[in-house]
Structure 1
Amino acid sequence: MCGIIGYTPTRTDHHSNRDILNVLMDGLSDLEYRGYDSAGVAIANASVSVYKRNGELSELEEMVPNGPIDGYAGIGHTRWSTHGPPSDENAHPHTDCDGSVAVVHNGIIENYRVLRDELEAAGHEFDSETDTEVIPHLIETSLEQGADIETAFRRAIDRLNGSFAVAAVFSGSEAVYATRNQSPLVLGIGDDGYHLASDVPAFLEYTDQVVYLQDDQFAKLSPAGVEISDKRGTVVDMPVKTVEWDPEEAGKSGYDHYMLKEINEQPRAIRNCIRGRTDEMAGTVSIDELDGIDRPKRIHLVSCGTSYHASLYAARLFRAGGIPATAFYASEYDAGAVPIDGDTLVIGVTQSGETADTLGALRDANRRGAETLAVTNVVGSSASRETDHVMYIRAGPEISVAATKTFASQQVALAMLSSTLTDECSREFVEGLRALPDQIQSILDQSRATEIADVYANSDAYFVIGRGYSAPVALEGALKMKEITYKHAEGFPGGELKHGPLALVTERTPVIAIVTGESNAEEMIGNMKEVEAREAPVIAVTDSPDVVENYADHILRIPQTAWQFTPILANVQLQLLAYWTANQLGRSIDKPRNLAKSVTVK
């Protein structure tokens, strides 16, 4: 959630801020997927020019100047409201009393109320309800006391409690100053300038050379280069890494929505996930980066949202292989209340590697002596740096807020991880893995989800049921439906239908039943009959159409495969059904209301 962008050109001569402004606006556009309700930019020259507006980025585009104005450096921000509702006043950047300092900020400043009271008592005037606004006023106080810019910036940051990423520009200065604590910031090293952002796609069109800033590190971006230092001011050398994502991967490539593009990218994403990790002839899976992990006594999986559903699926696989495993909501994980020691492997499943609740759970596990592993998509993310081991899912950039290809890649990665830790691998398993991309492509080519969505788009609610390994996918299918259609949707194990949810079933509540070879088909058919008796339409997602055709109004077919992978195939049909339903309803599919792609606050 929230997006920061910053830029300073390498040129030291005067130049039009239209160049800087274009870079900032392009970056904000590339960060729209993170979720936001207002946007703004600040350009530093002899003074600081600030433009910010409540609403979509298009609203901001209407107010920024068209003519050339000299500028040295700039910052921008897309805000997702926490302190104070969406408004022009609460939009970032925020300034000090005389407008010579502009600041953008992600995260939560926990002690802002105390700081604000102190500053107001000293005569500072505030224009917003945000926690962020205390930062420029703290900087202003130090500048008035004679500190130089960098010292004033550091002193202000030292007063803050909480999680944050902060960037600032100053009148008359060519530099952007930035720091982070438990909120992501990445630097981009380009030929024509230096960038900073919350995420790589914000500047990927300009450079693929990046530095991942770590907690309590400070960065100064100026025409002379990038200087990184620690909390004490000591300059540190940080490795420059090459991002292997193609800039075109972050575009729509002709699709109407990123979500549809990313659903269709799943065959390639899974090929990338398994590449170099399987030997079909030997029937083995080998994950080189995890060679140092021994079979643990127990496994805890910590995650949120879609990643939690992938964790539920994985926990079943680990238990089937003889390792006790439990999936926890990361926000509810209390390592002090469950058995945890050096024989416990705590796996954090997080697409971004920056999810605040998941990072908190992993840090708690580290403190208690557990071995930790991150299963993530982002190289250099906080989760990848702070755990003992990391396994990358290799899905490539995912822009749509609703996760699709990363969920499939998480399932595949976790299935491979399970096979290695439990020694439950087989030739059938590896063959199933290798067949997945082509099988998913066949679903994409032949799915009837579009026509079914047309029939049921105006339903009152949707229920998704499954058993065994398909139960977590039922939860995920319902989550996708509610995220992007804004319709009520519930997912639960088929056996729970009669323990409450059946009271809500009517002829206007379609029931989507996942009936696959690993499910108990007889029991699932029983559930289908229960809802059919209440006149609810039934949509079956199945690899056995002959078994269910007499009990379903519609069938969405999936190929037969190894039992571990039928949930992955079933999920593709559920993704398509949710997408086409939302499309029929005219929803904002890539940026659903009130939601953010990367949730970096607790």
Structure 2
Amino acid sequence: MCGIVGYIGTQQAAPLILEGLTRLEHRGYDSAGVAVLGGSKESALRVAKKAGRVRDLTDDLPKRFSGKVGIGHTRWATHGPANDVNAHPHTDTKGDVAVVHNGIIDNASTLRAQLAEDGIDLTSDTDTEVLAHLIARSTAETLEARVAEALSAVDGTYGLAVVHADFPDRIVVARNGSPLLIGVGEKEMLVASDLAALIRHTTMVAHLEDGEIATLTAGGFTTYRADLTSTHRTATEVDVDPATYEAGEHESFMHKEMLEQPDAAERVLRGRLDERFGTAHLGGLPMDARETRAIKRVKILGCGSAYYVGQMGASLIEELARIPADAEAASEFRYRNPVIEPDTLYVAVSQSGETIDTLLAVQEIHRKGGRCIGLVNVVGSAIARECEGGIYLHAGPEVAVASTKALTNMFLGFALLALQLGRVRDLSISDGKRLIAALLELPEQIGQVLEREEEIGEIAQVLADAESLFFVGRVRGFPVAREGAQKFKEISYRHAEAYQTSELKHGPLALISGDVPSVAIVPQDELTDRNVGALHEIAARGGPLVVITHPDVDLGEIECRRLDVPRSERELDPILLTIPLQLLAYRAALHLGHDIDKPRNLAKSVTVE
């Protein structure tokens, strides 16, 4: 959630760090800061930090802020309000040590009390400040040893970077539950919590594992375990075009990423469809036909939009493979002491592959002997490395907080998984071929929906003026409604709730009025008549209606704003019904003048519980 950038080399550190922090703004933050090591001991460590945006920090940075070693941070508040004092980096009393930190120190209160008893005056409300004081108090001979000693007293999660005035030739970094990547340049090294901050400078990257510490110097890096024995980690080339991290001609990354969905959909399907046998080939799944047939249940784990698309995926798996399947919020999973069954296939879903709740759920499954595969977008991410196998989404970098193209590719990943599971079991070859034909048409159909942005935008302006909305759908349509409500609330800041259409008469109808619009998902399927009947109930109570439906659905005389989407096979309809909801949320937020890529209080990669 927070952003870390560090640099050591031959260039001035501050401009590079500030540029990197700007590229991490999508991760969510409320303050920013930077620390640099200069040339003389008297002014070796200089710190500047400020509540607000990176540009506010840049505007206030002292004119003379030189140094070729530095660390920077964008903070998303967990301990204490957003202000200049709580912003990172944090230093010790003498100002010799500076620390930036992502994560949460669970025993921070105990450590703060111990430091206060020893006469140390803590100036911030944060958990991070204790790290700076612990490192400063250590008498170990090396900075690596001082950091390791401090971390041995810490319970919790962290991705951190440390500079010290007495060790001006290095940055020491460490990871436990919060991502850190090391970038290897020419006579320079970088560290960041997200590839976006590195990609303009290097494509040679090493991922730190949990429990590792690393030393960065201008000439290279060394990695260690907690006991400082070497782990010999090496960097590898990442195949990413830096231009994908640019919005280009688009007014926001969300708009760019929505329009990229047809191409992204083609990528996730490419090479994975076997039209001859009506099946999918997923080389990342470590299961033969015998192991596949032994699966008795599928459990999908994700957070936010990944959870809702997991519900769509569970429906696909039950329909096509006839295996009981359900989705659960990963953030709740391990806290209910779940029963882990050896014949259950667990699926972890995450765009970033670093979502801490989902990662901890995967670790709980493994702790109890279960098997878990991943659906992730980021190659080499923590969840991808933790799982036995999985499906890479190939959506390309997604910068906007509100997920669009990654969500679409998650759905298609589930469709491929369901198709492969189904064909090993009882799905006929004709049904397999029917679904493959529909999958191949989806990219073009998604493009057809996106071409109607202006029409959808007119409806969005009407919805934006409402203070509260309902999104309703049944069976396949209910997860679509949940995702629609999620998108609308997170970027328009309007209250939006999702309900099963069948549940309206069991409570929510009491809130229907002329001031509360309903967005209804009404596909052409076995429940069309019942869905239309519910629309009559809403209309009879004066509730404004927007209906996302198919061209051949007869809505009768119901007064509504109607949006038709192309029909696919009924199992695949949910993703086409989801696309206009993305556009509705986007255009509503645009109408309201919100910062679409950086919705308040939210972050792209949630790396703290």
The normalised TM-score by structure 2 is 0.94
Q: For residues 569 and 236 of structure 2, what CA distance do their matches in structure 1 show?
A: 38
Residue 592 (structure 2) pairs with residue 592 (structure 1): no
Partner residue in 2 for 1:121: 117
Q: For residues 504 and 212 of structure 1, what CA distance do their matches in structure 2 show?
A: 50
Partner residue in 2 for 1:50: 47
Partner residue in 1 for 2:459: 452
Instruction: Classify 1:504/1:196 alpha carbon distance in 2 versus 1 (closer, same or farther; 3 Å).
Output: same
Q: CA deviation at 1:329?
A: 1.1
Partner residue in 2 for 1:463: 470
Residue 29 (structure 2) pairs with residue 23 (structure 1): no
Q: For residues 163 and 291 of structure 1, what CA distance do their matches in structure 2 show?
A: 30
Partner residue in 2 for 1:440: 446
Q: For residues 473 and 245 of structure 1, what CA distance do their matches in structure 2 show?
A: 31
Contact 2:187 2:218 in 1 (8 A): no
Alignment of 1:330-409 (within 5 A): 330-334=330-334, 338-409=338-409
Q: CA deviation at 1:330?
A: 1.1
Q: For residues 434 and 487 of structure 1, what CA distance do their matches in structure 2 show?
A: 36
Contact 1:311 1:327 in 2 (8 A): yes
Residue 494 (structure 2) pairs with residue 481 (structure 1): no
Q: What amino acid is the match of 2:566?
A: P
Q: What amino acid is the match of 2:394?
A: R
Alignment of 1:171-570 (within 5 A): 171-172=165-166, 173-292=168-287, 294-295=291-292, 296-320=295-319, 321-334=321-334, 338-423=338-423, 424=427, 426-447=432-453, 448-518=455-525, 520-548=527-555, 550-570=557-577
Provide the secondary structure at the position in 2 that maps to 1:75. strand
Residue 118 (structure 2) pairs with residue 112 (structure 1): no
Among 93, 100, 108, the residue aligned to 1:97: 93
Q: For residues 383 and 236 of structure 2, what CA distance do their matches in structure 1 show?
A: 17
Q: For residues 344 and 456 of structure 1, what CA distance do their matches in structure 2 show?
A: 42
| Structure 1 residues 129-187: Cα deviation after superposition (integer angstroms, max 9, x where no partner) | 10100111111111xx3533221111111111111111011115121110000111111
Among 153, 158, 164, the residue aligned to 2:158: 164
Provide the secondary structure at the position in 1 that maps to 2:95. coil
Contact 1:95 1:101 in 2 (8 A): yes
Instruction: Classify 1:552/1:219 alpha carbon distance in 2 versus 1 (closer, same or farther; 3 Å).
Output: farther
Q: CA deviation at 1:274?
A: 0.9
Structure 1 vs Structure 2: percent identity of aligned residues? 40
Instruction: Classify 1:275/1:552 alpha carbon distance in 2 versus 1 (closer, same or farther; 3 Å).
Output: farther
Contact 2:355 2:607 in 1 (8 A): yes
Q: CA deviation at 1:601?
A: 1.2
Contact 2:30 2:52 in 1 (8 A): yes
Q: CA deviation at 1:454?
A: 2.3
Instruction: Classify 1:354/1:531 alpha carbon distance in 2 versus 1 (closer, same or farther; 3 Å).
Output: same
Q: For residues 326 and 445 of structure 2, what CA distance do their matches in structure 1 show?
A: 30
Q: For residues 73 and 231 of structure 2, what CA distance do their matches in structure 1 show?
A: 27
| Structure 1 residues 248-294: Cα deviation after superposition (integer angstroms, max 9, x where no partner) | 11111211111111111111111111111112344221111114253
Partner residue in 2 for 1:60: 57
Contact 1:516 1:544 in 2 (8 A): no
Larger mean CA deviation between 432-441 and 420-429 belongs to 420-429
Provide structure 2 residue ranges, at least 5 long, that are not aligned to the other structure: none
Provide the secondary structure at the position in 2 that maps to 1:205. coil
Q: CA deviation at 1:422?
A: 2.4
Q: For residues 137 and 111 of structure 1, what CA distance do their matches in structure 2 show?
A: 15
Contact 2:34 2:48 in 1 (8 A): yes
Q: Aligned residue pairs: how many?
A: 592
Provide the secondary structure at the position in 2 that maps to 1:53. strand
Partner residue in 2 for 1:147: 141
Q: For residues 495 and 200 of structure 1, what CA distance do their matches in structure 2 show?
A: 44
Q: For residues 479 and 428 of structure 1, what CA distance do their matches in structure 2 show?
A: 32
Larger mean CA deviation between 461-470 and 21-30 belongs to 461-470
Larger mean CA deviation between 486-495 and 551-560 belongs to 551-560
Provide the secondary structure at the position in 2 that maps to 1:117. helix
Q: CA deviation at 1:339?
A: 4.1
Partner residue in 2 for 1:35: 28
Q: For residues 538 and 358 of structure 1, what CA distance do their matches in structure 2 show?
A: 36
| Structure 1 residues 316-364: Cα deviation after superposition (integer angstroms, max 9, x where no partner) | 1222222111211112214875542221111111111111111111111
Instruction: Classify 1:70/1:574 alpha carbon distance in 2 versus 1 (closer, same or farther; 3 Å).
Output: closer
Provide the secondary structure at the position in 2 that maps to 1:86. coil
Larger mean CA deviation between 457-466 and 288-297 belongs to 288-297
Q: For residues 188 and 559 of structure 2, what CA distance do their matches in structure 1 show?
A: 59
Q: CA deviation at 1:398?
A: 0.9
Provide the secondary structure at the position in 1 that maps to 2:120. coil
Larger mean CA deviation between 407-416 and 281-290 belongs to 281-290
Contact 2:143 2:172 in 1 (8 A): no
Q: What amino acid is the match of 1:480?
A: K
Contact 2:179 2:382 in 1 (8 A): yes
Instruction: Classify 1:461/1:367 alpha carbon distance in 2 versus 1 (closer, same or farther; 3 Å).
Output: same
Provide the secondary structure at the position in 2 that maps to 1:210. strand
Q: CA deviation at 1:552?
A: 4.5
Q: What is the RMSD of the two structures over their aligned residues, measured on CA atoms? A: 1.6
Contact 2:261 2:405 in 1 (8 A): yes
Q: For residues 146 and 358 of structure 1, what CA distance do their matches in structure 2 show?
A: 37
Contact 2:14 2:67 in 1 (8 A): no
Q: What amino acid is the match of 1:96?
A: D
